[in-house]
Amino acid sequence: NNPTITLNSGCEIPIFGLGTWKSKPQEVLRAVKYAIHVGYRHFDCAHVYQNQKEVGLAIKQKIEEGEVCRKNIFITSKLWNTFHGDYNRVKEGLEKTLTDLCLSYLDLYLMHWPMGFASSDILFPMSAGGGIAFNTNCHFTHVWKEMEKLQKEGLTRMIGVSNFNKGQIEKLLAVAEIVPAVNQVECHPYLNQVELSNFCRENFINLTAYSPLGARDFVQKDTPGPLDDATVISIAKNHCRSPAQVLIRYQIQRGHIVIPKSVSNDRIFQNINVFDFNLSDDDMAAIMGLEKGIHGRILRGKDYRNHPEYPFKELLGPASKDI
Ligand code: A2P
């Protein structure tokens, strides 16, 4: 019920996992325990989500209860932007995460963004003139070399990136000894990432789709998202499935890894039950046709648009005046 794919390193990853961005600390402990109970074996975490202690406690309790063992669970976390810098700082970022998650190693450690912020214990340090204080001395290619050392030391089985555009991956590959295992980016029918997905595939990098359901707990409540889309609803009805199951299945059939977030037992259970039906070629084509280009992007990172490595430069063009 939880198929895996093999990444470029030869290690396997369950193609379906639980997202934890926006999960409140007081809700995520119970959610992760329930998810393990119903078969989830892949958890996507990050320092900036501010809930890793609770995720770690849930996993620890389930291991102690004998329901799973560490090597049968796949755990991803991410280096936050304030930890870009020399080796000690990058390693400190991972060690803090390992402590919070109560783990001795990660399965996958991602550079969360290609943008460095000033070293700080504060997640979004402010500059004297207002706005986020950036660290532009430490390019992501340098951070990557430091992350490679973490993998060689065995602190993480694999490394990868998140929120990288095509040009940034090309720059990374030019210096990389270890090719990133994945690029984790926003991906759903309104932002289908077809070009980036093909580019990643050609370079043996797997795409992980975050916000596959349209992150409705992040956007304004009245903004219609892919879960409310008439085409998605109609395809769901034809298969006697929910719109969320169609959106998850759509990613799996594209060969993407997918990590829908939920803290509700019903929805956690529903979301993993996507391995016993198939979307037809016509269904897939209809969903691919829902692309909205830059207007489909939810996570715009508007606080860091001035960073030289802001990855969504297309949002800064004339077409984005309304955004
Ligand atoms: P909840 O956590 O209350 O279940 P994404 O993964 O795109 O960020 O989407 C997460 C959002 O979608 C959350 O608001 C989550 O709410 C909601 N969600 C998760 N699973 C489902 C589902 N099966 N049906 C409807 N909404 C869902």
Q: Is the pLDDT of residue 110 over 90?
A: yes
| Residue list, annotated binding site for substrate | 112
Q: Cβ distance 140 to 172 under 8 Å?
A: yes
Q: What is the pLDDT of residue 309?
A: 96
What pLDDT does residue 189 have?
A: 98
For residues 241 and 250, the answer to whether their CB atoms sit within 8 Å is no
Cβ of 264 closer than 6 Å to ligand 1, yes or no, is yes
pLDDT confidence bin for 271, thresholds 50/70/90:
very high
Residue 164, domain extent: 4-320
- Give the CATH number of the domain where residue 19 resides: 3.20.20.100
> What is the count of structural domains for the chain?
1
- φ and ψ of 104, to 5 deg: -100, -15
| Mean pLDDT confidence for 145-171 | 98
* Residue 161 vs residues 3, 121, 279: alpha-carbon distances, Å: 22, 22, 29
49: annotated active-site residue: yes
Q: Ligand 1: which of 216, 221, 297 to mutate, most ligand atoms within 8 Å of CB?
A: 216
Percent of all residues in the chain with a pLDDT value above 90, rounded to a whole number: 89
- Does the C-beta of 213 come closer than 6 Å to ligand 1? yes
Is the model's pLDDT at 290 over the cut of 80? yes
Our answer on whether the CB atom of 271 is closer than 6 Å to any ligand 1 atom is yes
Burial of 303 (0-12, 13-18, 19+ CB in 10 A): exposed
**Can you tell me the mean pLDDT for 104-122?**
97
* Residue nearest atom 14 of ligand 1, based on CA coordinates: 217
Contact partners, residue 159, CB within 8 Å, separation at least 6: 108, 109, 110, 111, 144, 147, 148, 150, 151, 178, 180, 181
Say if residue 193's pLDDT is above 70: yes
d(CA 100, CA 281): 43
pLDDT at 317 over 90: no
> What are the tokens at 181?
């295992």
Half-sphere exposure in the Cβ direction for 68 (13 Å, CA): 21
Q: Quick check: 49 and 20 in contact, CB under 8 A?
A: yes
Residue 199 reports pLDDT greater than 70 = yes
Helix (H) or strand (E) holding 140: helix 140-152
Contact 262, 282 (CB under 8 A): no
Could you give the CA distance from residue 304 to residue 302 in angstroms, rounded to a whole number?
5
| Model confidence at 206: pLDDT above 70 | yes
Structure tokens at 121: 């214990």
Q: Helical H runs in 221-280?
A: 230-238, 243-253, 265-272
Kindly indicate the confidence band of residue 242, based on its pLDDT and cuts at 50, 70 and 90. very high
Model confidence band, residue 315 (pLDDT cutoffs 50, 70, 90): confident
Break the chain down into helix, strand, coil percent, rounded to 5.
40, 15, 45
User: For the stretch 254-282, what's the b/e string if a residue is b when 16 or more beta carbons lie within 10 angstroms of its beta carbon?
Assistant: bebbbbbbbbeeebbbbbbebeeeebeee
CB atoms near residue 176 (< 10 Å): 16
- Comparing C-alpha atoms, which of 138, 100, 101 is closest to residue 116? 138
Binning pLDDT at 50, 70 and 90, where does residue 323 land?
Answer: low
Which residue among 191, 211, 233, 261 is best mutated to probe the pocket of ligand 1, counting the most ligand atoms within 8 A of its Cβ? Answer: 261
* Catalytic residue selected from 34, 49, 190, 304: 49
| Per-residue model confidence (pLDDT) at position 260 | 98
Predicted confidence band of residue 229 (pLDDT cuts 50, 70, 90)? very high
Per-residue model confidence as pLDDT tens digits over 16-33: 999 999 999 999 999 999
Ligand 1 contact via 211 beta carbon (within 6 Å)? yes
Confidence of residue 197 (pLDDT cuts 50, 70, 90): very high
